[in-house]
Amino acid sequence: MRINNLPEIFIQALPVLKTLTTAGYEAYFVGGSVRDLLLERHIHDVDIATSAYPEEVKELFTHTIDTGIQHGTVTVLYGDSSYEITTFRTESGYQDYRRPDKVEFVQNLAEDLKRRDFTINALAMDQDGEIRDLFDGLTDLNQKLIKAVGDPEQRFHEDALRMMRAVRFMSQLKFTIEAKTEAAIKDHHELLSKISVERIRDEFIKMCLGQNARQAFQVFLNTELSEEVPDFRGKKEQLSVFPSLTFAPSTEASAWAVIIILLKLPNEEIARFMRDWKNSNAMAKRVEEIIYFFDLLSDHTPTSFELYQAGLEVVVSACDVSRILGQPVNSEALVDQYTALPIKKDSELAINGGDLIKWGLKPGPALGENLATIKEKVVSGELANDVESIKEFFLS
């Protein structure tokens, strides 16, 4: 199979490939970029595999970075872009179920591709656009199938994170997982506990946000991968609702909010749960805000000041969560109500604490209390947001 019209991202990288081949080495575009080219998906970056050793790559290019030279990877800076160039290699060991204990450089493309995770990621393309498919990845692409290269049990023992990558690709690509590959995930799901939470989290969120999230989440539960991630053990019943939800989360914060609500975690446990998943403090705070506003929406129609305190992003996310969980709200009306607020942030208030001091108020707790009262009345439309109106109200 040959691609005659390469996208610009490949055309820009061709001089790098040709520098290697002109010097007598083999070189190919490999992995996800080739897969996404064939699927007509957006391509974020391109990776290159070559028969040249790292030191030989460095001799051919002026600007390089030793990104992972012990594993054969050199980053080449060319034009306005950077390209990871990795020497053909084999791997062995994997005592931590993630990184190889031993890497050997080889001169054979087939040996390099056979160590990759799935057949759809074991495709290579040369500088002429010719696809090298040594493991029937094109057939699996056409059949929308995620299938391990070779023995799936061996692939997952080499890198247990590949099991999460399988359900993530299933979600993002709207593919299904080949039966033998899925069975191997279920048989070896406990290996996932060997992987760092940070890496699991990244794959989990990508799965939750994919276009096929509900079906992928069902496989995540069926294979018992869910038993090997923070705070999910024994919670399959609560989480089993996720695949039946009508809407998929649109943001990472919304996804976490939905999960926490399904798990019925009390508010005081949200921060701990987010820490267990190694989320940032900012993400934890945003999720808490979304859940608080979701609870508020479930109880009553928010006031203008409650909308102001939440902020537009939280309001929209909470509406998203409400729809997902089958509690639809009039999000357009809430957004219109928010848009109509006289001010959207504290800095837009016409006065500040210094003005109140000039008008006779002494510094202290009363200063903040008065500012809060003024702000609430301005937001609610009871008081015009101009200095004279606020001063008259304050002095009355």
Known binding residues are 32, 35, 45, 47, 116, 159, 162, 165, 168
Phi then psi dihedrals of residue 227, to 5 deg: -75, -10
Sequence ranges of the binding site for CTP: 32, 35, 116, 159, 162, 165, 168
Answer for the pair 44, 84: CB distance below 8 angstroms, yes or no: no
Tokens 């160039």 belong to which residue? Answer: 85
**For the chain, first and last CA: distance in Å?**
82
What contacts 37, CB < 8 A, 6 or more positions away?
3, 6, 7, 10, 43, 125
CA dist 206 and 214 (Å) reads 12
Q: What is the DSSP string of 343-382?
A: -SSGGGSS--HHHHHHTTPPSSHHHHHHHHHHHHHHHTTS
CA dist 213 and 228 (Å) reads 19
Long-range CB pairs of 16-21, under 8 A, 24+ apart, other chains included: 16/48, 16/61, 16/76, 16/78, 16/83, 16/85, 17/48, 17/126, 17/127, 18/127, 19/60, 19/61, 20/48, 20/50, 20/52, 20/57, 20/60, 20/85, 21/127
CA dist 254 and 50 (Å) reads 42
Q: What is the DSSP string of 61-112?
A: -SSEEEEEGGGTEEEEEETTEEEEEEE-EEEE--TTSSS-SEEEE-S-HHHH
Sequence ranges of the binding site for Mg(2+): 45, 47
CA dist 240 and 235 (Å) reads 9
What contacts 164, CB < 8 A, 6 or more positions away?
192, 195, 199, 200, 203, 204, 207, 225
**Strand-strand pairing, 81-87 and 123-125:** unpaired
